[in-house]
Structure 1
Amino acid sequence: MASILVLAALIFAVICSATTTATAHDSCTLLGHILPRNQVLFPSDESYKTVNDRWSLTAKLEPSCVVLPTSAQDVSSALKVLVTRSTLFAVKSKGHNAITGFNNINGGVTIDLSWINETTLAKDRSLVRLGSGAAWVDAYRKLNSQGVSFPGGRCSTTGVGGLTLGGGISFYSAKVGFVADNVLNFEVVLASGKIVNANMDHNSDLFMALKGGSSNFGIVTRFEVKAFKDYGRIFGGGVFSKATTDTTSQSLNGVYNFVKQNHKDEDAALATIFNYNATGKYILNSMVYTKPVAIPAIFKAQFSIPHIANDMRIRTMADMTEQVTTFLPWGYRDLFATATIVNKMSVIEAAHRISDQIYEEVQHVPDLVWNFYFEPLPRLFTDHSEQLGGNIMGLNRTQEDLIVMMLNPRWRDAEYDAEMADAAEAWVDSIRQSANRLSGSNDFQFLNYAAKFQRPLESYGPPNLDFMRHVSFKYDPHEIFQNLMPGAYKISR
C-alpha cells in the first residue's frame, strides 16, 4: 500500500510539473479578478521584482504571480482558486528560509503574507495578536513603550509565521519555553478555504500539531501570543574575538558552563558563533540578558575572553534583533543544517573539530563565509513547554541538557551549490557519528535550522509523527498541503 501511495505521489508531481506554468497563469488571471488588482502581482508589474526578492540568492524563484492577501478571507479566496484548479503554490511569511522552494516557487503561485502584519495588544494586556507576515522587529517596536513583551524571533527580518510554526527559540526561552509554546490561539485557513481557530478548547489536536509541525495543516494568518510585563530594555550585544586555540577553548567551555547554569538565571541567553572568512577566523559570543542589568554574573566567562570588539549595552529588543541581522547579509547563496548534541565537553570539542575539518575541505570555494553556531537547549526549555501544555517536538523524551548546532555557510557562485550541500551533509553525519561514540548524541533536528536533506518532523519520534499525520489527514483529507504546496517538510514523505 505504501509503495502505491509513493508511486501515485510521483505521478502527480510529474503531471503537475508539466502543467504548472499554464495552470498557474490561468489561476493568476482569475485571482486578479477576485482580489483587488494591487494584491495580485504579475512579472510585468513594476512592484513584482521588489516583492518577489529574497535576502538569499538560493531562495530566488519566479512564480507566475505573487498574491498579497490582507486578511484570512483573502487567503481563503486564493486557496479556493488554487485548489479547484490544482495549481502549485508556495507560502511566504517574510522569506527568511534560504532553501530553494521553501517559500517561493517557479511557475506556480506565491502567497505572500507580508500585508497580514498586525501587532495588537489585547485590552487586558494578556496577549499580543500578531499577523503571520509581520517582521519580529516591527512587532517589538510597536509594543516597546507598552511595558509588555512576548517571546519572538531573534533576527529582525524573520517573519512571525515561519519561525513560530517551526518551534522558535527566543531570547526569553529560558524563562517561558519555545515561541510556539506561548501561542494561545492560531487562526488557520484550511485547504477547503474554511477559517478556523485552534486553541486548547477548539480544534485542540490541530493546536498541538501546529506547535512545531510547520505548514502541513493549513495557512496560519494570525497568532495570539502570551504577553508578560517587561522592562522595555535589555542588556545585549556581542563580544567579538579572534579564534585562537585559547579563545576557542574558553568559548567552548563558556557554552558548556552556561548550559549547566542557565536554570539558575532564566533571564540569560547565549549563542556562540564561529565565523571563518577570507580575512581570518573569529568568534562572536552573542549575549542577551532580558533585564537592563549590565554584565550579569552568568556572562563572566564570556567577558573574560580576550576580544577585539564589544558592543554590549542596554538597548531595546528591536535594536538587539537588528544587531543579529548583520550576520545575514543579502546577495549570497546560503544553506542551513542542524545537529543536536548533549552538553558534554568532549562532544562539544569534537563537534568543533569536525566543523574546522570540513571548512578546510571547502575553503577553496570563492567568497566562502563559514558560520557555525552553538546554542543552548537546556532541559529548562522543555520544562516550561510542559507547564504550558506541551508541543509536538518530542523533546520531553530526554532529561538531558542539549545544545543545538547550526551550520550556515554562504557563497556567491551557483557552481558550488552541490559541493556545499555535500559538505553540510558530511557535517551533520560526522557530528552525529562522533556524538554517538561519545554517548552525547540526540536525534532532535530543530526545524528552523534544518537542511533540505534533513527530516526534522521524523526526529520528533514515531508517536508524534503519527499524530501529525492523523491531524493532517483530518483537516486536509485531500492532502492539498502535501501535494500542491511542494516546499517545506512534509509528513507524507
Structure 2
Amino acid sequence: MDQSIGQFIGQFGIRSIPVSSCCIQIASVLRSKVSFPGTSSYEATQESYWSIQEASLYPSCIVVPDTAQDVSEAVKILAGFPDCQFAIKGHSHMPASGFANINGGVTIDMTTLSSVTINNDHTVVSIGSGAQWLNVYTYLDTLDLSVAGGRNGLVGVGGLTLGGGISYFAPRVGWACDNVANFEIVLASGELTNANATSLPDLFRALKGGMNNFGIVTRFDLTPFPQGEILAGVIANPISDRDAVFTAFSNIAGSEEYDPYASLVTGLGYNSSVKGSWSIGTTAVYTKPESSPAIYAEFVAIPSTQNTLHLTNLSTFADETNTPPLNWQFFTGTYGVSANLMSRIFDSLNSTLYNLELPSSWVFWDIAFEPLPTIMTQYGDKNGGNSLGTSPKDGNAFVMLLSALWPNSTFDEVVQETAEKMTRDIACIADDMGLLHEFQYINYADPSQDPIGSYGVQNVEYLRQVSRKHDPKGVWQRQVPGGFKLGLKY
C-alpha cells in the first residue's frame, strides 16, 4: 500500500471489516468522500436505512459523492477491480437485503446529490438522483407546478423512477418514467453522458423500468405540468363493510371512462398481536381543487369511522412520518378488476393470518390495491417508450402490494414463507377467475419474484441487447449483485 494512502486510511481507525483494494484506490482519489467502519459518516449512512435487512449489511467502505464527476471517478476505479462488488443507495425504500447495501464491498450513497432546479421557461425540472420526492414537491408547489413522482414524500427519486413509478398523477401522465426528458448517467466505463429521445435513445427506453442494470443515474430531467391544490385524505371504514368498499374501488378502477384526476389506494391492515384484527381504509386523491368530486361519492356514502378528505397541496400531504427501522417484506401481483376477486382475496388472507402464531412478537400486514387503468398504460409508447410491457390491450387492472413489517428478526423465515403462500394463493384464485396478469411491478416485488421477466420476452431481450452494447464486460450484472438482474452470462 502506498504510504500516504495508508496514513489517510489509518486516520479513520478502521476496525473489524477488511479494507478492500478498491476502497483504498477510491479513497486515494475522492479522499474524505470515502468513509470507513468506525467513522461518524459511515455510521450515518448505515443508520439511514429503512429496513433492518439492509442496515444489517456492512460494506468495506461507503462513498458519498458530491458531484456526478465523483460518481464517474468511483465507477472507473470499481470497473477496474472485477472482484470488487458494489451497491447503489438512494433512500432505500426497496427493503430486500442487498438491494441498496452490500457486505464487504462498496456502497455508493447518492443522497448528497439532491438538488432541484428548473429551467427559465419552466419546461424541465432537474433533480439529483439522491433527492426525496418531498424535496421536489416543496420546490414546485411554490411555482404552482408538479411532476409525476412518489406518493410518500420520503421515497427516493432514483429508485421509484427507474422502476416505473406510480404517482397521484398517473392517470393524467402515465408512469413516472414516462415523464423523464433526460437521464444524466454514469456508464460502466465511467463515462458521464446523457440518454434521451435523440441521444442514446435505446438506453433512454431501457432505463424506464430497467432499474440498476445500465449505470448510475446522477440526474433526472422531468417534464412538469401546472398544478394547484388537490383534494386528499383517508376514508376508513368498518371491516364489516369491506364488500361495499371493494365494489366502490372496482367501479372506479374498472371504469371504461376512468376519471384522469382520480387516484386511490385501498388498503387492508392486520395486526397479528390481536387475532382477527382487520382494518380497511382508502387513501383518495383528486388532482383538481374540487371538494366533493362525484367520482368518490360511492366511497363517501359508505359508513366511515374517519374521513379526512380536504383541500391541500402535495408537499403537505406527502410529508409523511418515517417509520422506525423494522424488518420489511414486499410481494406483488397484478389482476383484472373485480370486487368478487377482492372479496376472495380477503377471505384467503384471513384464513392464513388467523392461524399464524408468533409468540412474543408482532407482525403488521398491509395489503394495498392500486388501480392500473388503461388511461395510464397508454403512455408506454410515447416519449421514446418504456420497458415495462404494460399496454391498454391488457385492460383495466389493479396492482397489489402485500407488505409486512415486524421488529424481531427471529421471525424472518416464517414471515417470508407466509407472504409467499398468500401471494401464491391469490395468484391461484385470480387465475381460476381468468384475472391473473403477468405484469409484476418491480418496485413492489420480492427477490423471489421475476418482475423483469414479466415485461415480456421482447422487452427482456431488448434490455439484454442494450446491456451488451453499453456494458460489454457486464459490470452492472456481475459487480452489482443487488436488485433484479437480466440473466446474462459472461
Residues 1:406 and 2:401 are matched in the alignment? yes
Paired residue for 2:198? 201
CA contact (8 A) 2:236 2:305 kept: yes
Identical amino acids, percent of aligned pairs: 35
Deviation at 1:183, TM superposition (A): 0.4
Deviation at 1:118, TM superposition (A): 1.5
Residues 1:236 and 2:238 are matched in the alignment? no
Equivalents in 2 of 1:94, 1:385: separation in Å? 26
Task: Trace 1:180-191 onto structure 2 (pairs within 5 A).
Answer: 180-191=177-188
Residues 1:273 and 2:267 are matched in the alignment? yes
CA contact (8 A) 2:368 2:400 kept: yes
Deviation at 1:240, TM superposition (A): 2.0
Residues 1:288 and 2:282 are matched in the alignment? no
Task: Trace 1:14-25 onto structure 2 (pairs within 5 A).
Answer: 22=18, 25=20
Secondary structure of 2:304's aligned partner: coil
Secondary structure of 1:237's aligned partner: strand
CA contact (8 A) 2:262 2:287 kept: yes
Paired residue for 1:329? 323
Paired residue for 1:317? 314
Secondary structure of 2:485's aligned partner: coil
Paired residue for 2:104? 107
Equivalents in 1 of 2:142, 2:289: separation in Å? 15
CA contact (8 A) 1:63 1:105 kept: yes
Deviation at 1:378, TM superposition (A): 0.8
Residues 1:341 and 2:335 are matched in the alignment? yes
CA contact (8 A) 2:140 2:146 kept: yes
Paired residue for 1:455? 450
Task: Trace 1:217-256 onto structure 2 (pairs within 5 A).
Answer: 217-231=214-228, 233-244=229-240, 247-256=241-250
How many residue pairs get aligned? The number is 465
Q: 2:80 aligns with which of 71, 77, 84?
A: 84
CA contact (8 A) 1:209 1:468 kept: yes
Deviation at 1:421, TM superposition (A): 1.1
**One-letter code aligned to 2:85:** L
Residues 1:473 and 2:468 are matched in the alignment? yes
**One-letter code aligned to 1:468:** L
CA contact (8 A) 1:174 1:263 kept: no
Deviation at 1:358, TM superposition (A): 2.5
CA contact (8 A) 1:373 1:405 kept: yes
CA contact (8 A) 1:125 1:227 kept: yes
Deviation at 1:462, TM superposition (A): 0.4
Moved more, 95-104 or 340-349: 340-349
Residues 1:50 and 2:15 are matched in the alignment? no
Deviation at 1:311, TM superposition (A): 2.2
Deviation at 1:167, TM superposition (A): 0.2
Equivalents in 1 of 2:40, 2:388: separation in Å? 42
Residues 1:68 and 2:79 are matched in the alignment? no
CA contact (8 A) 1:114 1:134 kept: yes
Equivalents in 1 of 2:255, 2:392: separation in Å? 21
Paired residue for 2:255? 261
Equivalents in 2 of 1:389, 1:362: separation in Å? 47
CA contact (8 A) 1:58 1:98 kept: yes
Paired residue for 1:132? 129
Equivalents in 2 of 1:309, 1:340: separation in Å? 29
Deviation at 1:36, TM superposition (A): 4.0
Residues 1:116 and 2:110 are matched in the alignment? no
CA contact (8 A) 2:258 2:375 kept: no
Equivalents in 2 of 1:97, 1:118: separation in Å? 22
**One-letter code aligned to 1:150:** V
Equivalents in 2 of 1:452, 1:432: separation in Å? 17
Equivalents in 2 of 1:224, 1:255: separation in Å? 34
Paired residue for 1:376? 371
Task: Trace 1:137-156 onto structure 2 (pairs within 5 A).
Answer: 137-156=134-153
Secondary structure of 1:362's aligned partner: coil
Residues 1:29 and 2:24 are matched in the alignment? yes
Paired residue for 2:7? none
Equivalents in 2 of 1:160, 1:316: separation in Å? 19
Equivalents in 2 of 1:146, 1:84: separation in Å? 45
CA contact (8 A) 2:265 2:368 kept: yes
Paired residue for 2:13? none
CA contact (8 A) 1:59 1:97 kept: no
Q: TM-score, structure 2 length as denominator?
A: 0.92
Q: Point out where structure 2 has 5 or more consecutive residues left out of the alignment.
A: 1-16
Paired residue for 2:486? 491
CA contact (8 A) 2:188 2:476 kept: yes
